[in-house]
Amino acid sequence: MQPARNVELKARDRDPAATFAAALTAGARDAGVLHQRDTYFAVPHGRLKLREEAGAPAQLIAYDRTDTASARTSAYHLVAVPDPPALIAALTATHGAGPVVQKTRRLLLRENVRIHLDAVTGLGDWVELEAVVPEGADLADEHAKVARLREALGMDDAQVVAEGYAQLLTRAAAPQDLVEAARLAMGRAHVPYSHFPVGAALRAEDNDGAVFLGANVENSAYPQTQCAEVSAIGALVSAGCRRVAEVAVMADTPLITPCGGCRQRLAELAGPGTPVHLCGPEGVRRTVTLGYLLPLSFDAAAMDRAR
């Protein structure tokens, strides 16, 4: 079954009342207020959330979207869910939980374009355009409609955002001290060969949650290069700590992820539930767990079982 498609655009809304008035002037019809809660799940491909809405059946929404600060296409599957608590329990147990996004949404409709005026808990006010693409259509008509409404609602470049609410909430909830430590370390990297600085920061479970940082250290004999995570692990262990409670890694690339070797090294001192914040220079882009990065990992317990 082919996914359905939307052309979407999201922006911060400095004045929801004015946006509402502008939408009505642009010919949109007010379709009322919705109360929605989206529970996200950790999945390896695309995104998966359960949407619960007061007075409507719950839906599992599986979707894929490239995050760019412009109108972009989202491809999605909708599945009706008769028992939301059971589905949340099943998917959280097997995939792990992601953020929960709660919002009050005023829905306006103009032809096949949905206009969302969202008040999102912890994130403030937003305006979203979603043009629903008819099956088999090219996207030209929808892009044109979104562009026209964007103009009418005054959604300027400075207000448009690339990311979804789940990522924005993840960033807002991220531990700033750890992110700043990773940033500091990244600035100190020794990278004359790759010119790719990486910073890592580890919060110790012991030592009152002390934070240790590390940068990548390259070498003219290339294989002698040390990853940022390894530098940070060395600092933590040298300070007398043995357990890692939380990890941040930062690099200026779409999504930095620890290399395979570093995942194994982190697993020596951390657990499958340990959060790993994957950061760009502006902050956390995604938070995953070590178990998500290193499933079916080898550890000392495997040797105990062999004896």
- Which residues belong to the active site? 229
Position 271: which residue type?
Answer: G
Q: Is 267 in the site for ligand THU (CB under 6 A)?
A: no
For residues 11 and 303, give the distance between their C-alpha atoms in angstroms, rounded to a whole number. 53
Contact status, residue 239 vs residue 214, Cβ threshold 8 Å: no
Interface size with ligand THU, residues (CB under 6 A): 13
Q: Write down the least CB distance from residue 40 to ligand THU, Å.
A: 25
Nearest to 113 by CA among 129, 100, 91: 129
Q: Scanning residues 68 to 97, which ones bind ligand THU (CB under 6 A)? A: none
Q: Write down the least CB distance from residue 42 to ligand THU, Å.
A: 20
Give whichever of 198 and 244 is closer to ligand THU, judged by the CB atom: 198
Burial of 54 (0-12, 13-18, 19+ CB in 10 A): exposed
Q: Is 183 in the site for ligand THU (CB under 6 A)?
A: no
Contact status, residue 119 vs residue 107, Cβ threshold 8 Å: no
Q: Is 262 in the site for ligand THU (CB under 6 A)?
A: yes
Contact status, residue 127 vs residue 161, Cβ threshold 8 Å: no
Kind of pairing between the strands at 244-250 and 275-280: parallel
Q: Scanning residues 195 to 224, which ones bind ligand THU (CB under 6 A)? A: 196, 198, 216, 218
Stretch that binds ligand THU, among 74-82, 130-138, 180-188, 190-198 (CB under 6 A): 190-198
Q: Write down the least CB distance from residue 296 to ligand THU, Å.
A: 20
Burial of 117 (0-12, 13-18, 19+ CB in 10 A): buried
Q: Is 59 in the site for ligand THU (CB under 6 A)?
A: no
Binding-site ranges for ligand THU (CB under 6 A): 191, 194, 196, 198, 216, 218, 225, 227-229, 258-259, 262
